[in-house]
Amino acid sequence: MQLKELCHLLDMPKEVQEKVVKYGNEIDFKKINSEITKMNNPNSWDKEREELTGFLTPDETGLKMLTCQLHAVCNTYERYKDMGISDEIFIQTMKFFSRFLYRYHEIHGEYKYVWAWWAVRQISMQEFRIGELEYEMIIQDNKKVISIHIPSDIHLTSSNLRKSYQDARNFFAKFYPAYANAEMICGTWMLAPELKNLLPEGSRILQFQKSFVITSQDDNSSGILDWVYGSKDIPFKNLPEDTSLQRKLKKYLLDGGKVEWTNGTLVSNPFCG
């Protein structure tokens, strides 16, 4: 697979596609083959990312780094084919890149890539999007678990979630049997019990919560601001009020309320209401 074809498959913004193809022709990938190869090991990626960043400087928009990671994704595609994993799962998993580029543009008015630190999970085939949700294979407390991540473009219906959970179980049983029966966990603001005071009874977020047993909470996290408002650096009084949730949450925060980052375990038979 070539970079131009990959960009098309992932619905990259046209402006970004053009720059990726340009940088793809300019960068000598042979000189950085070691750093690109090490994207397959998230545990050592931080050090390699620093070295690669130095090689690519100047790269204010991060699009040179994006080009290198998409180059690695082309290699990952061959591994998908070798294992027999569908193109559909490959494309949906790798649309991580386009989704965050569009999101950044929506908030800041420009295309900038700032997620290189996370993308190695997709490149190394530790994380897959299966239906509405993303599933990452990790080791926690010396045991294999699957960490669920919630994409920003999720359609949060009970039927969609049910299908995703079931399809994920089948996927891991087929391709990664060591994780076939692994516990599934999730850390997100969407599990916060406080949301019961902010959302109507029929809320899809509250329905989502019913499939998890809460295990812990982080009192000091401001992660909800990133996902609901696009940034945690906005003073509470200046938070936008474009949606019902934004308006209710803003008032709640101004009154001294908190919405904790909450960790939970998926119940064994998650039918989401």
Domains annotated on the chain, with CATH? 1-125 (no CATH), 128-273 (3.40.630.120)
**Model pLDDT for residues 52-79, shown as the tens digit of each residue:** 999 999 999 999 999 999 999 999 999 9
Count Cβ atoms below 10 Å from residue 130 Cβ, excluding itself: 21
pLDDT band at 273 (very low <50, low <70, confident <90, very high): very low
For the entire predicted model, the pTM comes to: 0.94
Tell me which amino acid residue 250 is: K
How confident is the prediction for the chain on average, in pLDDT? Answer: 93
For the CA atoms of 182, 87, 96, 14, the dihedral, rounded to the nearest 10 degrees, stands at 180
For residue 230, the tally of other CB atoms under 10 A from its CB is 16
For the four alpha carbons of 240, 243, 246 and 247, in that order, the dihedral sign comes to: positive
Does residue 38 contact residue 48 with C-beta atoms inside 8 Å? Answer: yes
The percent of residues in the chain predicted with pLDDT above 90, rounded, is 82
Tens-place pLDDT, residues 181-238: 999 999 999 999 999 989 998 899 999 999 999 999 987 788 889 889 888 888 999 9
Buried b (16+ CB within 10 A) or exposed e, 214-229: eeebeeebebbbeebb
pLDDT reported for residue 43: 81
* Per-residue confidence (pLDDT) for residue 95, from 0 to 100: 98
